[in-house]
A and B are shown apart, each in its own frame.
Chain A
Amino acid sequence: MPSRKPDYYEILGVFRDASQEDIKRAYLDSAQRLHPDKNVAAGETELFLEIQLAYEVLSNPKRRNLYDATLPPEIEESSVIKHEVSFSRTNLVQLNEPQLVYALLEVGPRDQKEKLPSAPLNICLILDRSTSMQGDKLDFVKATAIHLLRNLRQEDVLSVVAFSDRAEVIVPAALNLEKKKHEGSIQMMQASGATEIYKGLQAGIKEIRRTLDPSRVNHIILLTDGQTYGDEKACLKLAEDAAAQHIGITAMGIGHEWNDIFLDALAGKTGGSSAYISKPSDIERLLTDKFKALAKSFADEVLLEYKQQKHIKINYGFRLQPEGGFIEVESPIHLGPILQDTALHILFEFLVSPQALDGDVLKLLDGSLKTSIMARPRPVPPIRLKLTLDIKQNPSEEEPPSRILNALSHLNLYRMQERAQAAAEADQFDVAARYLQNLATHLLSQGEHSLSKTALFEAKHLETKHTWSLAGHKDIKYSTRALLLSGDKEKAE
């Protein structure tokens, strides 16, 4: 950390060219977090006064001008966050047809050794207790919820909401719970009714807001085994509202009835992921792992805001790490969390139209990265993210960096599975089968024998029965997603 005293812009966490509106918003955010009326830690009152002073100066255009004149040149490097970008090509080529270019963005802590204390958790478990959960599924869910409650740290909050076609709060969000009593209420949960995710989500968000605190990891884990009907749009809206308050969502689907595309979209709104639980006995492991990951959060979210560049489109975005997941590419993009031991890795595919190739250099993306780190009371100054590439007459002969090639080769498998799904959705079963056969060939060449067999089996199934087998598609989707992660780890070792 530099010993230099941070300037007013850094204190508020805004750029030097921030508008009055940005400054005001940043001030209100910080003030809300550090206001002395709240029970705050030692030293935070001083921070609050600093922020107040910074705001007084910067919100007054005259004083701001005078202050700006005294500032040393802006330092572009952030002291807390480090980011790196690699491209699939060193330059673009002057062409009269559209072309693709890939960028891998890595965002992580600048100082790996700086150990921030693990942030306290504020987690809400939203549990499906519809009729179909009866038996093993609900039993494992209950046992896991009780296990998690027992192992909660003093400073953590865990609330539990159960839903079917209505929702009820089983464990309210509060500190210093009487755990024994609530273990009993979890045990009493009975399966009955239909699945209406909106009801559960609404109650869960209400619960998590009771103990909402920017210095905590605020996260919802939704567990369901079924499809919700008719309330998808309303659910996505709720997720957007949650994201705006830095509440993350992880959606876990048990068995094969649930809608993976919907849960992907729901979690994606907040930078979270969906997960597939193929058998009830895996519930405990996956949920416990998720809790461990949340407790290791370094930043609960990285937000990318950008202006659309003319004739350039972000075709596709995928988070490779810490959790593989689908990313919506509309600004602002919720990229996902950074863990203390795992940086955030995002892969983008840009489609460049010939009209964009005007001049020697192309600006692919112009935006900023905003990070919120729970353990830091002071806001993290945003980072400008400008992606530019030279435009040349000839393609470069240089091999792309191996990290992006690795990432792309694993993503390639995942996308083949996506294409198969899209084709099957469109009733083009022979096309879907062909994609799967191709996928099987590639899986085999990478030594994934059993997954390759599954893909071939599904290809046959689609060809003859015109539908996926019960678990087939989810098995392939989430297994190819898992390959993305294992592939990345190999690289890191």
Chain B
Amino acid sequence: MIVCSNCQHDNLTGAMFCAECGASFAGVHSLIKQSLGPEKYQSVSKKSSDDPSQKFSGGETWGSLHLVDTGQIFPLSQRNEFTMGRISKGQSIRPDIDFSPYQGYDAGVSRMHAVIKRDGDRIILKDLGSSNGTYWNGARLSPNVEQIIHHRDMVALGKMKIQIMVKK
């Protein structure tokens, strides 16, 4: 069985793309759960540790961020709150999700741009006073005001477009 990291759909072993959401499984060995006989094991990944999908693998995934332009997927799991931003050299600010490898600077992502968190069934997005703003379905959010968002909403950090996927 392969569990899709994007939508949690169970796919048959050997599938190359998720039958539900179409996400590619190429190179996602860490998410292939093989059941060998009675016991199950999770195969060890060979991926380097700076891969963002790696930091969060395992644990319950409650949602994911889908970078619209590059197709990159960031699963949200193990904790309820993630800060989003960009790491820049010589600065000690370290957001939980770093967009600097995905042209975060060019897209106008601030170092500490916004936060997404889960509160029970609600998903909340909050702009952290970013320079270029956080947009929710096209509307700019006021800084530091919480906004409830939903599955499939489009969010933009500056020009970085992200689709929010929430597991129900």
Chain A interface residues (CB < 8 Å from chain B): 88-89, 92-102, 351-352, 393-395, 397, 399-400, 405, 408-409, 412-413, 416, 419, 437-439, 441-442, 444-445
Contact = CB atoms under 8 A, between A and B. Distances in A.
A100 B152 contact: no
Contacts of A413: 22
Interface centre among B16, B24, B36 (most CB of A within 10 A): B16
Contacts of B15: 100
A438 B22 contact: yes
A325 to B, nearest CB: 20
A89 B14 contact: yes
A95 to B, nearest CB: 6
A409 B34 contact: no
Given A395-B43, A409-B17, A441-B66, 10 more contacts: A92-B14, A95-B36, A96-B35, A98-B12, A99-B12, A99-B14, A102-B14, A437-B152, A438-B21, A442-B22
Interface in B14-33: 14-17, 19-22, 24, 26-27, 29, 32
Contacts of B69: 444-445
Contact of A400 (B16, B43, B152): B16
Contacts of B152: 437
Contact of B163 (A94, A99, A441): A441
A100 B17 CA distance: 11
B58 interface: no
Given A395-B34, A399-B27, A416-B22, A445 B70 contact: yes
Contact of B26 (A394, A399, A439, A442): A399
Contact of A97 (B13, B17, B27, B71): B13
B32 A97 contact: no
Contacts of B29: 395, 397
A467 to B, nearest CB: 21
Nearest to A411: B17
Contact of A99 (B13, B19, B70): B13
25 contacts: A88-B16, A93-B34, A94-B36, A95-B13, A95-B35, A97-B1, A97-B12, A97-B35, A98-B12, A100-B15, A102-B14, A352-B14, A395-B13, A395-B34, A400-B26, A409-B24, A412-B17, A412-B24, A416-B22, A438-B22, A439-B22, A441-B163, A444-B69, A445-B68, A445-B70
Contacts of B16: 88, 102, 400, 405, 408-409, 412
B68 A441 contact: yes
B90 interface: no
B17 to A, nearest CB: 4
B138 interface: no
Contacts of B22: 412-413, 416, 438-439, 442
Contacts of B19: 419
A445 B71 contact: yes
A88 B16 CA distance: 8
A93 B26 contact: no
Nearest to A96: B35
A306 to B, nearest CB: 20
B89 interface: no
Nearest to B43: A395
Contacts of B27: 399
B60 to A, nearest CB: 22
Nearest to A452: B68
Contacts of B163: 441
A437 B163 CA distance: 11
A444 B154 CA distance: 13
B168 to A, nearest CB: 12
B17 A395 contact: no
A107 to B, nearest CB: 22
A441 B17 CA distance: 14
Nearest to B11: A100
Contacts of A438: 20-22
Contacts of B26: 399-400, 405
Contacts of A393: 36
B101 interface: no
Contacts of A405: 16, 26
Nearest to A407: B16
A413 to B, nearest CB: 7
Nearest to A95: B13
Interface in B39-93: 43, 46, 66, 68-71
A419 B18 CA distance: 12
B3 to A, nearest CB: 13
Contacts of A95: 13, 34-36
